[in-house]
Amino acid sequence: MRIRFIIAGLLLLGLTFVSCSSSNFVTMTGEARPPIPVSEVRTYSKFPEKYDEIAIIYARQPNNWGPDTSTKGLIEELTEKAAELGANGIVYDLKDLIQPGYGHMWFELPGTAIYVPDKTDDKL
């Protein structure tokens, strides 16, 4: 009987860790590139003149009011995912931030992962 309580407690503990994690969703709109360091990803409030769109990313964090539930944390998630896709830029607007409310338990921030050619790159 005691083992059942221990197993049940461990399962609940595991579910707690899973439910408190962040997640993101990606919709590919272009071709991914080789991953780059996060430090090379720039953030933009509007689209630059020349760019290739790679993906739409939704960063999500649960409404747990912890230290990771912040706009900064969501932007970091967008930037990390953009780097994984080889995007050197992420465009987002804080006006698009979705806050928890009735029937919605997550903070969400959409962003567009883009590749911006440098001045020596004449592909565009």
3-state secondary structure of 115: strand
Q: What is the pLDDT of residues 113-122, one digit of tens each?
A: 999 998 655 4
Q: Provide the pLDDT for residue 80.
A: 95
Q: Provide the pLDDT for residue 12.
A: 46
List C-alpha distances in Å: 124 to 82, 119, 120: 20, 10, 11
pLDDT band at 104 (very low <50, low <70, confident <90, very high): low
Mean pLDDT for the chain overall: 78
Cα torsion angle, 73, 35, 113, 32, sign: negative
Whether 5 and 13 have beta carbons less than 8 Å apart is answered as no
